[in-house]
Structure 1
């Protein structure tokens, strides 16, 4: 647990009260534009932790107001002007080292701010909520060839269900009296053909939930192109992306050209290549009654590595409810393309019991192979 001091420097308390809002305005003027929610978290953290000295206050601000090394380069000199110089690392309590929260590091000794963004290579889960405009490159010739195959095969991969509405048909258990009467008028009251109605089969809804966080940025473009193919050839499809928030992207993906459709998402999906909050995003989906209707009885496909940060219980509860709502819940992850992969991370091991099938999908080619598997089933 983090250490909490019992005595706070009174002069620091006065400086915080007098200067904190001016300090935040100065950060904005220096180019570090902190959104209002993070400012609120900063103030709440000051109240909750009760900093003993300027070093404590520095690290409270660094952990809540900055999201990258560039942000820290602006934050540090600005903080020094308002509150004085501090140590480069938080002081450790020598008497009770077990109670001290260690400074987190990313893979290979990365600074915590780089790890928060998912690492420079985008191979790790992070928690950054910084808005950005991702750039999705054009589809290659091979991708376009696979997309044409997907459009041809996807219809056969989606399970069907009996429609609740009765339609005219050659056979069926119900007599179509209205149609018989209309035709009898033309035949002077004679019933020539006994017309019937039935409930034809129709495709189930398809719900695609696509992870666009930093750890998935090598695969997000391929997943979105797959979603574009699904929206173009299936009757009832809804597509959502999630990283640190939930975004509905069905309408932008209705554009005819795949490159234009995916490129338009750069102004819509503002949490791409950032942090990962799978449980919170899925719970936001389930908290919207309109979205829940989409999931009911649908083929639900989650395209994510399942690398959740923090408490995995919200993710476990959300995936469990999605499994109960939908017809089938499929989880496609790029990690499962490795034959040695085992779902032993906290997030995946928690939701594995609610998933109907776990498969490896890292690009359009592997997605096409899974579609072929669904057709055979």
Structure 2
């Protein structure tokens, strides 16, 4: 293997496609574990991945199938492993190579990925932004569960009369009382991505985050672009490849880098769609060219329908930020959570919030 990190990242991506929650944090744990193991040993790689990438017993059969299929016929070359974190001495100002009597401090050099996680995507270079986008593709948007109207067989719960009677007719007697309980399903997420001119530095990254959410739960996620028009982009974001998905979404978005009329677009959404029981996520900086009072009225309607309303503002990541724009002031009374959306770490925190909502 010429690039162990790339191969193990591809393996984690294969596991996610099979339903295993092998997210970015678990993949990093695997790479750290392989630093201390012999990567030429199939057994050591197997157990390292099983202990770091699997979350529940249900993941084990999927992991075994993916491991066998992915690594069939691959032979690792001896001596190749993930480069470890390098420690280097920090010299005080004025110290030369000969050094003085002052103590020498050992400083661990942070990895490039860890540094990029907390940097504002609007201030990244093209290469750094591409690396952040690759890490965004590793996000797994796990959702909070809600009770479904459907039932499932259970050891405890209400009496399942139909199953009990069918079994009694088949066996000739009532041998056992069958029970049932309500099944669970992922809570729906309705995501609005602002693609106006003021959000241009963050729009592409937000759309890639939307692609990760749609890919993780295709049936429970609906995505819209907002600017001067409300445009559904869920179908375009269902493509497996992020680049192709963004190209398809860009073709159907007519108001890219235009103005912002959030009130009119929220009204159009509530007129033709609904968010009953869903988590509504609005990614915007709150610059409103329309009537802020209209936005406040529509946000009140949305808050009555949705299970939770989360507003993602890229400027919230700065300590001195205050919601002073007209759109933010109108929407703030009806928002459950106002969170940052300027970095990869902020998007990871948002996925955890969606899982715990």
Task: Provide TM-score, normalisation by structure 2.
Answer: 0.61
Match of 2:231 in 1: 247
Match of 1:132 in 2: none
Match of 1:314 in 2: 294
Q: How does 1:224-373 map to 2 (within 5 A)?
A: 224-234=207-217, 235-288=219-272, 291-292=273-274, 295-373=275-353
3-state SS of 2:234 partner? coil
Match of 1:140 in 2: 130
Q: Contact 2:224/2:231 (CA < 8 Å) preserved in 1?
A: yes
- 1:370, 1:237 → 2: CA distance? 15
Q: CA, structure 1 residues 224+312, in 2 after alignment: closer, same or farther (shift >3 Å)?
A: same
Greater shift in the superposed pair: 237-246 or 308-317: 308-317
Q: CA, structure 1 residues 374+287, in 2 after alignment: closer, same or farther (shift >3 Å)?
A: closer
Per-residue CA deviations over 1:280-339 (Å, capped at 9, x if unaligned) read 111111111xx11xx011111000001001421111111111111100000001111111
Q: How does 1:3-152 map to 2 (within 5 A)?
A: 140-148=130-138, 150-151=139-140
Q: Which runs of 5+ in 2 are unaligned?
A: 1-121
Match of 1:114 in 2: none
Q: Contact 1:146/1:365 (CA < 8 Å) preserved in 2?
A: no
Correspondence 1:176 to 2:166:
no
3-state SS of 1:271 partner? coil
Q: Contact 2:136/2:212 (CA < 8 Å) preserved in 1?
A: no
- 1:146, 1:137 → 2: CA distance? 14
Q: Which runs of 5+ in 1 are unaligned?
A: 1-122, 124-135
Correspondence 1:160 to 2:159:
no
3-state SS of 1:275 partner? coil
Q: Contact 2:261/2:289 (CA < 8 Å) preserved in 1?
A: yes
Q: Contact 1:301/1:330 (CA < 8 Å) preserved in 2?
A: yes
Q: Contact 1:206/1:298 (CA < 8 Å) preserved in 2?
A: yes
Q: CA, structure 1 residues 238+169, in 2 after alignment: closer, same or farther (shift >3 Å)?
A: same
Note the C-alpha offset of 1:266. 1.8
Note the C-alpha offset of 1:244. 0.3
3-state SS of 1:314 partner? helix
Note the C-alpha offset of 1:362. 2.0
Q: CA, structure 1 residues 374+165, in 2 after alignment: closer, same or farther (shift >3 Å)?
A: closer
Structure 1 runs of 4+ with >4 Å offset: 136-139, 373-377
Q: CA, structure 1 residues 372+167, in 2 after alignment: closer, same or farther (shift >3 Å)?
A: closer
Q: CA, structure 1 residues 374+305, in 2 after alignment: closer, same or farther (shift >3 Å)?
A: same
Q: CA, structure 1 residues 181+310, in 2 after alignment: closer, same or farther (shift >3 Å)?
A: closer
Note the C-alpha offset of 1:207. 0.6
3-state SS of 1:274 partner? coil
Per-residue CA deviations over 1:135-176 (Å, capped at 9, x if unaligned) read x9997233222321x21xx21xx3322112222222212x22
Bigger radius of gyration, 1 or 2?
1
Matched residue pairs, number?
Answer: 232
Note the C-alpha offset of 1:182. 2.6
3-state SS of 1:244 partner? coil
Q: CA, structure 1 residues 242+165, in 2 after alignment: closer, same or farther (shift >3 Å)?
A: same
Per-residue CA deviations over 1:196-222 (Å, capped at 9, x if unaligned) read 111122221111011111111111111
- 2:353, 2:276 → 1: CA distance? 23
